[in-house]
Amino acid sequence: MKSLFSFLAAAWLMVLGGPVAAQDLTFRGCTDVSGRAVPSRLDVESPYLVTTQMHRSGPEIVYNPRALPEVTDAVRAFLYAHECARHSLGIARDVPSIDTAQRADCEGLASLQRSGMLAAPGDVLALQSSLVFSPAQWARVPGPARGFDLTACPTRRAAAPSDPAWNRCVHRCGDRLFHCGRSDSCMAAYNSCQAACRR
């Protein structure tokens, strides 16, 4: 799921770019429980916002942001993350139940939180209040029809932003260690070098 988090963060910037970008947004970076890539395909003819199609070559997530143009970009990202979570949890081939759907909801929510998309206070409650679907809409989103209690999911914090200067400093220390070797004196020099890097 790590690649999904980084992709979702990039995708979120595309979503914020404007309504046209959001309409044609597609996602990549989903993996299954074994770490294998699960491809995604944008299909503006699909009746579903997001669904999984099984092929001989494996599963494929099909995504159509135009299927439900009335939902928010946050809802689209959440429902894609939910579908991807079904693969990462190893439940994509199971008959969807409320229990497994809620597990995927929480895992999808966690991916959005770790990516920083839902970092502001109130973001989760705002998303939850948007997750109300009519019977016709439920036919187009990952089911089964259910209520959402995202506040009951474990809270995940966004990764702290990295410090480029600290990263460069530690990278230089690592380069010296690589050329020096793994002896005690080399490791001591590396530890001393890394300790001197300012955060």
- pLDDT for 55-84, tens place per residue? 998 999 999 999 999 999 999 999 999 999
What are the φ and ψ backbone dihedral angles of 55, each rounded to 5 degrees? -125, 170
Instruction: Identify how many contiguous H helices and E strands the chain contains and give both numbers.
Output: 8, 5
**Residues 57, 14 share a domain:** yes
Residue 159 within a domain? no
Q: Given a cut of 90, is residue 19 above it in pLDDT? A: no
Residue 103 within a domain? yes
Residue 157 within a domain? no
> pLDDT, tens digit, for every residue of 84-140?
999 999 999 888 899 999 999 999 999 998 888 888 889 999 999 999 999 999 999
**Residues 187, 130 share a domain:** no
Cα–Cα distance, 135 to 119 (Å, whole number) = 31
**Residues 168, 112 share a domain:** no
**Residues 9, 41 share a domain:** yes
- The confidence score (pLDDT) of residue 106 equals 96
Residue 158 within a domain? no
Cα–Cα distance, 47 to 32 (Å, whole number) = 24
| Average of per-residue pLDDT across 161-186 | 79
With CA atoms as reference, report the closest residue to 110 among 127, 95, 93, 97.
127
The tokens describing 196, both together, are 């001197």
- The confidence score (pLDDT) of residue 188 equals 83
Cβ–Cβ < 8 Å for 85, 111: yes
**Residues 114, 47 share a domain:** yes
**Residues 143, 192 share a domain:** no
Residue 89 within a domain? yes
**Residues 137, 73 share a domain:** yes
Q: Which amino acid is at 35?
A: G
Task: Report pTM.
Answer: 0.69
- The confidence score (pLDDT) of residue 161 equals 57
The residue behind tokens 């839902």 is 118
Cα 156–chain centre separation: 12
Q: Is 18 left (phi over 0), alpha (psi -120 to 50) or beta?
A: left
DSSP single-letter state for residue 128: H
- Could you tell me how many residues make up the chain? 199
Range of the domain at 174: 164-196
Cα–Cα distance, 61 to 69 (Å, whole number) = 19
**Residues 59, 35 share a domain:** yes
The number of distinct structural domains making up the chain is 2
Cα 46–chain centre separation: 22
pLDDT class for 44, splitting at 50, 70, 90? very high
Cβ–Cβ < 8 Å for 141, 174: no
